[in-house]
Amino acid sequence: MTENQLRQKVVDIINAWIGATKGSAKHLDLLEVYNNYRPLARGYKVQVNDAYCATTVSAAYIRAGIAEYTGTECGVEKYTLVAKKLGIWVENDAHTPKIGDACVYDWQDNGVGDCTGAGDHIGIVSKVSAGSFVVTEGNMTGGKVGTRTMAINGRYIRGFICPDFAAIAKKLGGTTTETTPPTTTAPGAVQGTAHTVAAGDTLGKIAARYGTTVDTLAAINGIQNKNLIRVGQVIYLTEAAAAVGKLARLGVINSPDYWNTAAASGKVKYLDRLLIQAAGKIKKAGTRTATPEAGVAALVAAGVINTPDYWLANYRTFPSLDALLCALGGAVK
């Protein structure tokens, strides 16, 4: 993964929570991500009614797998201190951020000179344009996750948390340079998780590009007429990706990119089969189970899994796996 891909991953994660309100499924999801991370900042477990802007930023970095390098906090000013200690704080209102960086606000800023007050609010930069940028933030008015557009060097900007994404990507085994994806891959090596049909595409061309077959893609995507696909249609390249796509559309999960990456990584044994089997059973989202144990029990009862001991022994070993089991267990009932 390159620096830019890692930055976009963070943006995709936090943007998946847009629309969350206190107590909603998306809100509970991000709280679980934050509260299950260790070490838990100051040992405090964030509650449903707490302000949660810093928690949202931390949760996005946690889910992206980079919290080790960004730090975590549920308090804005405390997060600023963490960033300073890590050497990733930028004390400059006029700084032009990049996506994935965090913008800290001080609502008492008078707009004169460089703001040096206490931080009141925080969000992640999700888009940068000439002269302005968009920030995705938790705990906006009404307790929701939403977006705000800010002018470069605008009033209320306290400063920025700017993780070294290039160095992080390299440490995670990626590269610091962007490359153009090849038009073909080695036979049998399916890369990526989905392809969006463009003008001129055929199922044959897509299969050749990703090193698979027309029959395989047709089966995965439930395509009856192999000669008929439409521009804009999403063609899933693996069974797991198709399962994740269905679960996301149903609202069972809200971070499909994260679970696609997790399934493809092989870090959680049987995760791809869990997702595929669950997607085959689930028809709509349901109320999450209160515990992962209850989720596993529901999945066993529904015939989705037959190795409960494995999941009970391992759900703490991968970030948000416990939340996934709760979500799937609640939906499969």
In this structure, are 150 and 252 located in the same domain?
Answer: no
Residue 225: give the domain boundaries: 194-237
The whole-angstrom separation of Cα 113 and Cα 115 is 6
Q: What is the mean pLDDT of residues 243-265?
A: 85
Cis link prior to 292 (omega < 30° from 0)? no
The enclosing domain of 230 has a CATH number of 3.10.350.10
Q: 243 phi and psi, to 5 degrees?
A: -65, -45
Biggest CA–CA distance in the chain, Å, is 64
Q: In what order do the strands lie in the sheet with 144-151?
A: 89-90, 157-161, 102-105, 121-129, 132-140, 144-151
Q: What is the mean pLDDT of residues 234-243?
A: 91
pLDDT given for residue 160 in this prediction: 96
Helix and strand totals (H; E) in the chain:
14, 8
In this structure, are 154 and 217 located in the same domain?
Answer: no
Question: Could you give the number of structural domains in the chain?
Answer: 3
Of 139, 156, 171, which residue constitutes the final position of a domain? 171
The whole-angstrom separation of Cα 275 and Cα 263 is 9
pLDDT, one tens digit per residue, over 174-220 is: 654 444 344 333 333 334 688 888 888 999 999 888 888 999 999 99
Give Cα 56 to chain centroid, integer Å. Answer: 11
In this structure, are 265 and 323 located in the same domain?
Answer: yes
In this structure, are 45 and 160 located in the same domain?
Answer: yes
Q: Count CA atoms within 13 Å of residue 238 on its CB side.
A: 18
pLDDT, one tens digit per residue, over 49-73 is: 999 999 999 999 999 999 999 999 9
Q: What is the mean pLDDT of the chain?
A: 89
DSSP string, 86-146: HT-EE--TT----TT-EEEE-TT--SSS---S---EEEEEEEEETTEEEEEEEEETTTEEE
In this structure, are 200 and 279 located in the same domain?
Answer: no
In this structure, are 53 and 139 located in the same domain?
Answer: yes
Residue 291 predicted with pLDDT over 90: yes
The whole-angstrom separation of Cα 214 and Cα 62 is 38
In this structure, are 220 and 307 located in the same domain?
Answer: no
In this structure, are 156 and 45 located in the same domain?
Answer: yes
pLDDT given for residue 188 in this prediction: 32
In this structure, are 156 and 255 located in the same domain?
Answer: no
The whole-angstrom separation of Cα 282 and Cα 302 is 10
Report which of 207, 213, 97 is spatially closest to residue 152, judged by C-alpha positions: 97
Which residues are bridge partners to 236 per DSSP? Answer: 194
Asked if 75 and 82 touch (Cβ cutoff 8 Å), the reply is no
